[in-house]
Structures are given as structure tokens and as C-alpha cells.
Homo-oligomer: A and B are copies of this chain.
Amino acid sequence: MELTFLGTSAGTPTKARNVTGLALQHGKPKHWYLIDCGEGTQQQLLRTRYSVMQLQAIFITHVHGDHTFGLPGLLTSASMNGRSEPLFLIAPRPVRTFVEAALGNTDSSLSFELKFIDSEAEDFAWEDNAFKVTATALSHRVSCRAFSFEETNLERQLRQDKLLADGIEAGPAWGKLQQGVDVVLENGTLLRSDDYTTITRSPRKLVIGGDNDKPELLEEACKDAQVLIHEATYTQEIADRVGPWPQHSSAANVARFAESMQVPNLVLTHFSSRYQFNPNAYPHIGEVESEARGIYRGNLYLARDFETYRLDKGANLVNVTSP
């Protein structure tokens, strides 16, 4: 399972960092998922191995432009490239209005079906053959959600001893049972996959936050998560100077929550455009990092554009960015 950060700047882009976009790919299908789509996301994707042709679903945390303005271009480019597969757009309802107005006023149409799903519906949940996705309401200037991606359909190991003991010889039935499919034999016997297979590990779960000044709202979602990806727009000092109105988190704020929950991996992103990664620049992103590291004892990363992280089946998160 891999994550590639397409943009890590809050509000406005910088020369080195685009506005928010995150690609998530499960190891199993070729499909991948996009979480948020700031302007320029399609251009960032051209520098990765991800193609809009294989994109399965787009999740939008909230309506703000630095999370949504890339949608019309990404969708029409997929169309110009001849995409025919339906695409899910899982977002607050005004995002649908925005996209429809963008297409409708620019002589644009899509070659594929855009399946809009309201991410803010009370009973929201979405799943495909790789993930079950749920949403958690956050605290921001506008309605905003975190999305929790939890693996489904984990790989099964056949209980060969039990199969042979029950007189079921190796054959096509074994393959189906291993895929989680129940089988009815010619003699009418029902074999349940759950009875003849075992799942040897826990599902991986990632919680991907939107903009939010109350990380503690993610307590329930983070209980069984191995990774929390959360905004840390600035240090506490800057947060205090800016005041509460933008409703963003400081690094300290998020670190305190992640430490209290013992989330094993924390990735911070969505840094104010004032921060730079250039070692001689001020203010330097190192200030955000030190603040978080002083509080959170787990595996901490500060995301940069085009960095790729791999979450292995043992739930270790490693930066695997190719140089």
C-alpha cells in the first residue's frame, strides 16, 4: 500500500510545494484513490506513475479551493484521454455544483460517468474490493471530513489439513475458498470460505484528515489505525499569533493527540506557504518538525511534494521515494 503526496502547501502554492492532493494505492488492484484535488493536481500526477485513467475514486475533505480547484481540469483531461470507466467523486454537495458549473460554462463534457456521492450524508460509507471508507466530521471554518481507509478482503491462507481431513481434494474449489468465495460441491455440500481459510493479520487502516483544529475528534477513528495523516499548518507560536479564526492545527496540537492515542505512524502535511524546506530559509519547516518531535514519540514524517510512503503488511510506514 503506497501514498504519494502531490501537494503539501496550505492555501496557496509555493514554488516547491503545490496545494493539497494525495494519491493512495492499494497493492492489490491497479486502482488508486485521490484525496483532495487542489489546482495543479493533474500536472503533479504527470510526474508520478499514477494516471487519471486508472483512478477509482476522488475523496474531497471540504470545499475550499486549495482542495478542489483541480477537479475540472483533472476530469476533462481524463475525458480528453478517452477514459470510459465511471469515476466516483465523493465530496460535499457544493463541490458537485462547482464541478457542474465549471463543465457547463466551458463547453466541456465527460466521456465517462461521474458518480457523485455526498460525503456528508449521515450514513456515508463507501467500499470497493480493497477498502472500506468511512468519514469523521472535523472542526474547520466549513464542514470538513477525515476519511478512514480500512483494508477489506485480506489474503486468506487455506487450512489444507482441514480440507484434506474433510475429504476435499486440491482443485478449483480450493482456489475459490482462498479468494473468500463459498463453494457448493456437486454433491450439494456447502463449503464456507471462513471455515477453510484463516486470515493471519489485521487489516491496515489509515486516517486521512482534512483541515481541522480539533484532532481529538479523530479519537474513535484512530483507535485501530496504524497511520494518521493530518494537517499541521504551523507551529503553536504562529498559531497563537494568527489567532483561532482559520481553524487549523499546530504541530503541537496534532502531536499531542497522536501521542495520546499511541498511533504508530504520523505524517504531517498542509504546511503554511510561509514554511520552506531550503536549509537556509526562514521560517524553516524544521520548526514544525521539532515541535512535533518534542511531543510525539512514534514514527513521524513531514510530507514533501512527490514523496512516496509504503505501508507494509506489518503496518510499518517507510519513505520509499525514489531519488
Contacts and interface: CB of A to CB of B under 8 A. Distances in A.
Nearest to A68: B106
Looking at chain A's contact residues, the main secondary structure is loop
Contact of A101 (B15, B77, B97): B97
A65 B73 contact: yes
A69 B64 contact: no
A145 to B, nearest CB: 15
Interface string A67-109: 0111011001100110000000000001101100110011110
B47 A80 contact: no
Contacts of A180: none
A199 interface: no
B46 A14 contact: yes
A210 interface: no
A257 to B, nearest CB: 25
A12 interface: yes
A65 B69 contact: no
A43 B13 contact: yes
Contacts of A141: 107
Contacts of A38: 73
Interface residues of A, number: 39
A154 B76 CA distance: 44
A18, A80, A101: most-surrounded residue (chain B CB, <10 A): A101
Contact of A105 (B43, B66, B81, B101): B101
A79 to B, nearest CB: 10
B142 A69 contact: no
Given A65-B108, A69-B72, A94-B106, 19 more contacts: A11-B80, A12-B42, A12-B77, A12-B81, A13-B42, A19-B73, A39-B39, A39-B42, A39-B69, A43-B43, A63-B106, A63-B107, A64-B106, A69-B102, A69-B106, A98-B101, A101-B101, A101-B105, A107-B142
Interface of A: 11-15, 18-19, 38-40, 42-43, 46-47, 63-66, 68-70, 72-73, 76-77, 80-81, 94-95, 97-98, 101-102, 105-108, 141-142
**Lowest 6 A-B CB distances belong to which pairs?**
A101-B101, A39-B73, A94-B105, A98-B105, A12-B77, A69-B73
15 contacts: A11-B80, A13-B46, A13-B77, A39-B72, A63-B107, A64-B106, A65-B72, A66-B73, A69-B69, A69-B72, A69-B73, A95-B106, A97-B101, A101-B105, A107-B142
